[in-house]
Amino acid sequence: MRNKQAPLAIPYVIWMALFVVAPIIMVVIYAFSSADGGFTLANFSSIGDYAVIFTRSFKLAFIATVVCLLIGYPVSYVMSREGEKFQRIAMVLIMLPMWMNFLLRTYSWISILENNGLLNQFFRAAGIIDLYNSIMGTDIEYFRMIGTSGAVVLGMVYNYLPFMILPIYSVIIKLDKSLIEAARDLGANSYNVFRRVILPLSLPGVLSGITMVFVPSVSTFAISKMLGGGTQMMLGDLIEQQFLGGAYNPQLGAAISLVMMIIVVVCMVVMNRFGEGEEQAVML
């Protein structure tokens, strides 16, 4: 059957040329154009002014990815050791939140993290704030959570955690059980089984999880706007502002997108090298 069926892919190849490759070429063209259409490098030279935003975006996305990994890996691991029924329900529960719009869920965090929000009310009622005041000798009425970079990281972790859990879980669950048994038979204790067998074999899932969390985190714009209180501007906000927001300048927006895209691709290539070109785990 080889080769005969290859033409089946032709429609999609054309589609990709039109709607995947061509748009990226458009971004490149715009990035090197001035407002009146001439060639210019000015868009790139003004990117320097936004270095702070680049650093902040990559820093916060990095922290969010690490946190997701620290939570997501144990969850996947613990889940894979549960009974079948539990696993099934847990998987559904992890997917289910995606059916509620992420903007709404993020909006909901605002009322939890507010100065007078649920968490602070809870801390007050539980006497934690008084305790903190008496220990630290301060006089605060609430913990400031909203409008900080911590809140933005929390928003990212909240929204993208399932993207870390799913690929890792799907790799762990498919691990050849006989390998683990073999390791045990050869005298490995639980720690060594995990470190020498399970962890290396689940690396493809980890890598694909990292990609799936890092990329959307670094480019988010709604989360930073809602939870960061406009003081934690990220790359996504900056780009959005140039296209549909307050500062109409699509050329600059295209240049920033291009630079961000290149940095992300370089990060991913380096990371996948580190993973020895293991095949990406399929999600779900």
114-133 positions binding another protein, by CB under 8 A = 114-118
Nearer to another protein, 60 or 215 (CB): 215
Residue 273 in contact with another protein, rule: CB under 8 A: no
Number of Cβ within 10 Å of residue 122's Cβ equals: 12
Cα 49 to Cα 52, 171, 255, distances in angstroms: 8, 43, 13
Task: Using CB under 8 A, pick the residue from 42, 69, 199, 222 that binds another protein.
Answer: 222
Binding to another protein in span 37-56, by CB under 8 A: 49-50, 52-53
Phi, psi of 33 (to 5 degrees): -110, 155
Q: Are 232 and 150 in contact (CB under 8 A)?
A: no
Among 60, 204, 241, 255, binds another protein (CB under 8 A): 241
The distance of closest approach from Cβ of residue 130 to another protein in the complex, given in angstroms and rounded to an integer, is 19
Is residue 271 part of the contact set for another protein (CB under 8 A)?
no
From the CB of 92, what's the least distance to another protein, in Å? 6
Give φ, ψ of 24 to 5 degrees. -70, -35
Could you say whether residue 8 binds another protein (CB under 8 A)? yes
Size of the residue set binding another protein (CB under 8 A): 113
Residue 24 in contact with another protein, rule: CB under 8 A: yes
| Dihedral sign for Cα atoms in the order 163, 165, 166, 170 | positive
- CA nearest to 206, candidates 156, 274, 107, 148: 274
